[in-house]
A = this chain, B = another copy of it.
Amino acid sequence: MFENGHLAKKYKIKKCECPSGKMMRFVEPCLLFFISQHVSYGYELMAKLDRFGFPKANPDPAMVYRTLRYLEKEGFVLSRWDTKGAGPAKRIYELTQKGLGLLHLWAQSIATRKKVLGKFLALYDERFKDKKK
């Protein structure tokens, strides 16, 4: 649903036309980054994703697990099973050199994107500076 209910109400936008503002495949760099900090596994990584704007309440396991398997298939991460700890077995992921490279690529890509958003907001603010309450 809307993040800004009052604006939606003001302009009579009833249906959720949801300007999501989400970035495509953004889980990927997030997972790579977390793994670069410390080896980890799906369930743990999933819980960390709210730091980057993913919904804390009900995170979606589908994207996380599928992305992790994809990253391993392509050689960006390696996994091994951990059956030592309590509870069900965990699939522990660690970053490869190639995965580190992909993270660096993502970082540059994200920096570029941030600049574009900054430009949009600058022009937007300039255009509507008088109309602000």
The CA of A12 and the CA of B99, in the complex, are separated in Å by 10
A108 contacts B4, C-beta separation under 8 Å: yes
6 A-B pairs with CB atoms under 8 Å apart are: A19-B102, A21-B113, A23-B23, A33-B123, A52-B120, A104-B128
Residues of B within 8 A of A39 (CB): none
0/1 interface trace, chain A 29-71, chain B, CB 8 Å (1 if under): 1100100110000000000000111000000000000000000
A125 and chain B: residue at smallest CB distance: B107
A106 and chain B: residue at smallest CB distance: B19
Contact of A7 among B15, B20, B105 (CB under 8 A): B105
The CA of A11 and the CA of B106, in the complex, are separated in Å by 13
Interface centre among A17, A19, A120, A121 (most CB of B within 10 A): A19
A11 contacts B102, C-beta separation under 8 Å: yes
A71 and chain B: residue at smallest CB distance: B17
